[in-house]
Structure 1
Amino acid sequence: MTTEDGPMSKTSQHSPAPDHRSVAARLGAETLARLNRTADAPGLWHLAGHGGLILGLGIWIAQGWVLWWALLPVQGIALCFLFTLEHEATHKTPFATPWLNEAAGHLSGLLILLPFTWFRYFHLAHHRHTNDPERDPELLSGAKPETWRAYLIHVSGLPYWWGMLGQILHNARDRDPAPYIPARARPRIRREARVMLALYALTGASLLISPLLFWVWLLPLLLGQPALRLYLLAEHGRCAFVANMLENTRTTYTNRAVRYLAWNMPYHIEHHSLPNVPFHRLPELNRLMAEDLRVTSEGYARFTRDYTGTLGDQSR
């Protein structure tokens, strides 16, 4: 299957067509070593901004200040996009200090019901088998929607919440782990799930005393999840089922606010081609790879319009 031509993607003409390995070879060892170098300061500054936004919005909502209700979905988007920090932490790249990566990953996962230890193995399997219908766990856990009904259900975020609650319960029981989970990781995954369930039980108990967490965390999460679902569809949706990262992944050009909330992950071809490059170096990698990018979109509104325009199209 080849990459689709048309408004959803831009396909560069190369002969012979490069793949992500040839791009890495062209960049050379010295450039790669520089790009792969991690640091604490960029990640800490970025985390301060992202976390400060969540805290500030939470205080505004909790105080009931003017138009507080209008900020609920904004708070939800800021919270849900902690996914991109957790995603980065699976690669151990946001920070140079290992414990910072682990702490950021676990805290983000707790807030968005995505167990970090389990997700690391899930996500690394996704990188090994990107867009392989038979081995990519992202596709095996739920194919990209191809009808309007499936699309609306997917974008609602409800399958995510139901699926992750089920996954946490499954992990806590330590039953039938997926093939990408090594035996040595099972005790940690089981312990992680049980700690998460205990903390969620305490959250539920706290609601009997005060509804604060409902208004600043739980309800915003539900309202913000559709934005994350739309964002994530662009990463591989309508991309080729091939091993070449330049064809099975999409880079989406967007505004600075989205890039900031998403920790530069809209540069997704770049990330999949060289996953050890930390988020703050992806814009530079984008410039170095610009001539090689084969599947791009000019914004998420454009991608969504093109994606929905082909829903139910059996000739696609």
Structure 2
Amino acid sequence: MSEADPVLLNPEVARPYLDRGGDLPALPLGPEGLDRHTRRDLLKEEMAIAKEFHGGAMWPYAVAAFSCFAVWLAFFPLAIMGELNLTVGFVLSCIFATGGYVTSHEAMHSNIGRPGEKNRWLNEAVGAVSTIPIVFPFSMARMMHLEHHYHCNDPVKDPDYTDEAPNALWAWYKTWYNRQPGVDGSIHHYKRILAGMGTPEAARALKETMLLQLVFMAVLFTMAWSGYAIEAGLLWWLPRHIGLSYIRFYLSWAPHHPREGKTGRYEQANIFKSRLGHVLSMGMETHMIHHLYPGIPNHRTRKAYLALKPVLQQRGVDCSAL
């Protein structure tokens, strides 16, 4: 029963209960069948456990971001000079394009350096270079990802809702279909949401998106015109599309499906078992932990989940997969 319960405040409302021998209603139960005191105690326990997994050394994310970007950038002159094995370059470019989103993801949540801290510049630099291989400026990536958190699984306001599909095969198809010209897919949904914000930050993100896309097209055209179309295709164009599909499947569809109506704190994301394992699914098996506590770095979400599992089970979370 809440402190403002009308049964306690209004004698006229209370009289029918008193006439039945004081059969007052029990404490209201939440969706998990727990009263508010139990829910409060569980939340305190949950927050105390989660606090242990926040922070830690984040420099490996910066090292990975800058070194991978430098190697990826060097592929282009090396390919032109004939010093690069294109098969190796293609495989690594796919890895860099996909993995770059993981490092940028930490920067989106300011886990590398928060505003006002001396290493804030590092946070912004990591974010800026990490998403270049997928032609996705950090400004837009951060704004859209935070909107996803603010409005998770809302069919209108969640920027990633366009990834929803009835099954995995259809979800993989949509990762490609949503990028086709004329399709009201992910990037068009992003631009529409940014335009609706009407803020200077949103306008800048739109401009940076257009600029990066123009640079992307210019590089591809120039290399193709110079006789290096295959090199451009294997080092940037195709890895970008493979990376985007992989990211949208594992970071968007897999941990959130089914999305419809799942807007509560403990139902925005699922605990699931990936066929490719925890690392190759980029830590998304325990993505729920990220939605509960975005400040926990990606590499610590699995350990955090295992520590929080007893509490989550009491809150009604399905933890049977892991």
Smaller-chain TM-score bracket: 0.5 to 0.7
Distance change (3 Å), C-alpha of 1:35 and 1:194: same
Match of 1:36 in 2: 54
Match of 1:76 in 2: 94
Match of 2:149 in 1: 127
Is 2:111 the counterpart of 1:89? no
Compare CA radii of gyration and give the structure with the larger one: 2
* Alpha-carbon offset, residue 167 of structure 1: 7.1
* Alpha-carbon offset, residue 80 of structure 1: 2.5
User: Per-residue CA shift, 1:97-142, capped at 9, x if unaligned?
Assistant: 2222222222223221223212322221211221123432322xx2
Match of 2:199 in 1: 183
Asked which structure has the greater RCO (Cα within 8 Å, sep 6+), the reply is 1
Would you say the 8 A contact 2:134–2:243 is kept in 1?
Answer: no
> How many residues get paired?
274
Output the CA distance in 1 between the equivalents of 2:92 and 2:35.
42
Q: How does 1:1-316 map to 2 (within 5 A)?
A: 15-16=33-34, 24-28=43-47, 32-37=50-55, 39-47=57-65, 63=83, 65=85, 69=87, 72=90, 75-94=93-112, 97-139=119-161, 142=162, 144-146=164-166, 151=171, 153-155=173-175, 157-160=176-179, 162=181, 163=185, 177-179=194-196, 181=197, 183-207=199-223, 208-209=225-226, 210-211=228-229, 212-231=231-250, 232-239=252-259, 241-254=261-274, 259=279, 262=282, 264-291=283-310, 292=312, 294-295=317-318, 298=321
* Alpha-carbon offset, residue 202 of structure 1: 3.4
Other structure's SS at 1:245 match: coil
Would you say the 8 A contact 2:100–2:130 is kept in 1?
Answer: yes
* Alpha-carbon offset, residue 185 of structure 1: 1.2
Distance change (3 Å), C-alpha of 1:69 and 1:274: same
Unaligned runs of 5+ in 2: 1-30
Task: State the AA in 2 paired with 1:252.
Answer: F
Distance change (3 Å), C-alpha of 1:290 and 1:165: closer
Distance change (3 Å), C-alpha of 1:244 and 1:187: closer
* Alpha-carbon offset, residue 219 of structure 1: 2.1
* Alpha-carbon offset, residue 154 of structure 1: 0.7
Distance change (3 Å), C-alpha of 1:255 and 1:75: farther
Same amino acid, percent of matched pairs: 20
Aligned-residue RMSD, C-alpha: 4.2
Task: State the AA in 2 paired with 1:271.
Answer: H
Unaligned runs of 5+ in 1: 1-12, 300-316
* Alpha-carbon offset, residue 158 of structure 1: 4.1
* Alpha-carbon offset, residue 216 of structure 1: 1.6
Output the CA distance in 1 between the equivalents of 2:195 and 2:320.
33
Output the CA distance in 2 between the equivalents of 1:83 and 1:129.
21
Distance change (3 Å), C-alpha of 1:234 and 1:256: closer
User: Per-residue CA shift, 1:226-282, capped at 9, x if unaligned?
Assistant: 4334323211012562332322211334589752672x3432000000112222332
Match of 2:24 in 1: none
- What is the TM-score when the length of structure 2 is the normalising length? 0.66
